[in-house]
Structure 1
Amino acid sequence: MSELLDANIDLLFYAGGDGTTRDIVAALEQDERTDLPLVGVPTGVKMHSGCFAATPRAAAEVLAAWLAGDLMLASTEVMDLDEEAYREGEWKVRMYAEVQTPSSPRWMQGAKMRVAAAEEEEVLEGLAAHIGELATENEGLLIIWGSGGTLREIAKNLGMQTTLLGIDASRDGVLVGRDLNEDGLLELLDGNESAGVLLLLSPMGGQGFLIGRGNLQLSPEVLSAVGVDNILGVATPGKLAILSELRIDSGDSVLDADIRERRYLRVLQGYRTTRLIKVAE
C-alpha cells in the first residue's frame, strides 16, 4: 500500500472481501489518504461494503467509465459483520468507515441492509406452510436449503435446525445433510431425478444477489444438476420492497447467460403467493 500511495495513484482497484477493505482503509487512515477512491472486485465470501462492484465484469465497467470521466465520486460505507453473532442468529453490523467510490447504482452493489417487518413472523409461518405442503405433496422431494436467516426460520417452523451460513438438505421433512460442500450436494443429487429437487434461495437484503455471494458451495456443476427451473427464491414482502431486480453471479458465464435469458425468476413471498422478479442484466 505504501508504494502505491507514494506513486500518487488516483484510484485503488483491488480484489477481495470486507477484510481486505478494512485493511486498506486502515492503511489509508495511517497515511491520511482517506480521500482516495476505491473500487473492489468481489472475490471474497463476506462483502457487505458499498465500494464493491456487483460482479468482476461490473468492476471493469465502473473503472472504464470512471477513467473516461463519466462517473462522479460518492461516499459509501465500509461495513463490518460480527460473524460470531451472525452464527447465533443475530445480525450485528457496524459501519467501519466511509470511503469514496465512483457513483454507479447500475454497477456498484451498495451496502447491505437488514430488512425487518412487523408482520414478518406471520409471513414466515405462511412460507413454511407452503414449503411443507410441497414436501408432503411430492414424496421423496429433495429440498436444498440456501443460507441466511429467512430460510433458517422457515426450516425451524418445519421442525428442522438448519445452519445459518451453510447449505443443508432435507427429504420428507427430515434433514439428510447439514453444512454440505459441493461434493456432498452432488452426491445427494446423483440419481435423484425421479424424486425431484427444489433449491430454496433467499436474496441478500439490499443487494439482491440470489446466486453467488455466500453460496460458494452452489457451484455451476451443482446448479446445473439442480436445473434452473427447480430454483425458487424465497423472501418476505419487506425484503422484496427494496429489491428491483435479482442479481446472478454463479461464476459460469454460460450458466449466468442462460438464467438471464429467462428475464424473470420465481420468488415465493407468502403462502401460495409467488412473484416474478426481473433478473439483472
Structure 2
Amino acid sequence: MREQRDFDSSLLGAGHGKTLGLIVNPVAGMGGRVGLKGTDGPEVLEEARRRGALPVSSERALLALQGLAASGTPFRLLTGSGDLGEDVARAAGLEPIVVYTATPGGSRPDDTRNAALVMAYAKVDLLLFAGGDGTARDVLAMVSDRVPILGIPSGVKMYSAVFGTNPQNAGRLAARVMGAETSVRFREAEVMDIDEAAMRTDQMSAQLYGYARSPHQRHLVQNAKSGSGANENLALDAVARQVVRQMKPGCLYLLGPGTTTRRVMDELGLPSTLLGVDAVMDGALLGADLNEQALLQLMEGRETHIIVGVLGGHGSLFGRGNQQISAEIIRRVGREQIIVITSMDKLISLDAGCLRVDTGDAEVDALLSGHLRVHTGPDRSVFFRVRA
C-alpha cells in the first residue's frame, strides 16, 4: 500500500467537481438473517458462512451508487480495489480511481481502516461507506473530523446516527453533497456500537465511540438510538398484558428483539432472548433466538403474527437489529398480522415523524408503507405513518 502521507493528488485530475470516497465492507451484515447479530471477528464470519449467510453489502452499496450516478452530478470517485468498492462502482456505471489495494491475507477491518486513512489524506469531500456500526467505528478511528462520513446501511445493528435511512436515501444525500446543495447541513453525529460478544450472551452493552461530521437532511438520515423513561415503561407493561390476553389459540407469534417485546414474554412467564427472535404458541416457547430459516420452518401450516417494538431515536421497525424477521417472513405473515408496541413519547420524539422500514426488498417496504396501527397503552393505539 502507498504511504498515506505520499498520496498522489495528481490522480484526482481537474474539472470533475467534488471528490467522493467509497469503502465497501464486503462481509458486513452477513450475520443478520442467520441470527448471529453481526460479523465482528473471523470466527463469527466463518460461522455465518457455515450457516449459509450470503453477502449483502455490495448489493446495498449498488442501490446507493445507482441513484448517485443517475443524478448526473459530476464528481470524482476514489475507492479500494475489487470488492472494497471498485467492483460495485463499475457495476453502477461509474469510473472509479483505485487508491488503495487490499493487503493479501489482511483482515477486512484492516482494509477498511487503511482505505479510510488514504481517503482522509486525499481530503475527499465525503467518505461514503457500506457497513454497520463496526465499520463506522473503523472509519471514524482513521478520519476523525478531517472529512465528513455517511453510511450506506449494510450491517446488522446500525445504531449510529451516520447512516442513511436506506441505501437509496444515502445515495440521494451523497448526490446532494457532491452537488453542493445549500439545503444540506452537517452535524456532529454519534457513532455507537454494541459489544457483539455480550450480545450473544443476551446482554446489552452499548458504547459511544465518538462523533463524526456527517451530512444531514430530515427523512434521509437516521438519529441515534434512544432509551425509555419510567412513565413509558408503565404504559408498555400494560400493553404487554393486553397483547397476551388477546393472543389467539393455535397461532404462532414471533417476537422481535428488545426490551419492549421482552415485556410480553415476561407476562407469559417465559424466558426471552433480548437481542434475538423467539417464537411462542399457546403460552409455550417453541424456539428461542431463531434465525430466518428456523422461523420459516415453524411458520409452515400455521397462522403467524409478528410482535415488534420500535427502535427509539431513529424509529426503525424492520431492518435494524431484527433481520431474522426477513422480507420473506413479513410477506408470508402479511401486514395485518403485525403487532407494533411502543410508547407515545417515543413516537412524538421521532425527528422524522414516521417509522422506518428497510427490509432489503422494495416490494415488502412498499407493503409496509402507509399508516399502521401502533399500540401505545391499554386500549390505546394510533395509526402512525410508515415509510421506507
Q: Same fold (TM over 0.5)?
A: yes
Q: Partner of 2:361 in structure 1?
A: 252
Q: Partner of 1:175 in structure 2?
A: 285
Displacement of 1:157 after TM fit?
Answer: 2.1
Give 5+ residue unaligned stretches, structure 1.
Answer: none
Mapped partners of 1:258, 1:169: distance in 2: 23
Alignment of 1:1-281 (within 5 A): 1=115, 2-29=117-144, 34-70=145-181, 71-83=184-196, 92-118=205-231, 120=233, 122-135=234-247, 138-192=248-302, 196-243=303-350, 244-260=353-369, 263-280=370-387
**Contact 2:244-2:267 at 8 Å conserved across structures:** no
CA change 1:191–1:119 in 2 (3 A) is closer
Mapped partners of 1:279, 1:47: distance in 2: 19
Give 5+ residue unaligned stretches, structure 2.
Answer: 1-114
CA shift digits 1:209-254 (9 cap, x unpaired) = 1111111111121111111111111112332231321101111101
CA change 1:10–1:200 in 2 (3 A) is same
**Contact 2:202-2:273 at 8 Å conserved across structures:** no
What amino acid does structure 2 have at the position aligned with 1:222? Answer: I
What amino acid does structure 2 have at the position aligned with 1:27? Answer: M
Displacement of 1:118 after TM fit?
Answer: 3.1
Q: CA RMSD in A?
A: 1.9
**Contact 1:37-1:102 at 8 Å conserved across structures:** yes
**Contact 1:17-1:47 at 8 Å conserved across structures:** yes
Instruction: Please give the secondary structure, in 2, of the residue aligned with 1:118.
Output: helix
**Contact 1:18-1:49 at 8 Å conserved across structures:** yes
Instruction: Please give the secondary structure, in 2, of the residue aligned with 1:111.
Output: coil
**Contact 2:232-2:343 at 8 Å conserved across structures:** no
Instruction: Please give the secondary structure, in 1, of the residue aligned with 2:312.
Output: coil
CA change 1:89–1:118 in 2 (3 A) is farther
Instruction: Please give the secondary structure, in 2, of the residue aligned with 1:179.
Output: coil
What amino acid does structure 1 have at the position aligned with 2:138? Answer: D
Structure of higher CA gyration radius: 2
Percent identical across equivalent pairs?
36
Instruction: Please give the secondary structure, in 2, of the residue aligned with 1:277.
Output: strand
**Contact 1:150-1:202 at 8 Å conserved across structures:** yes
Mapped partners of 1:207, 1:89: distance in 2: 23
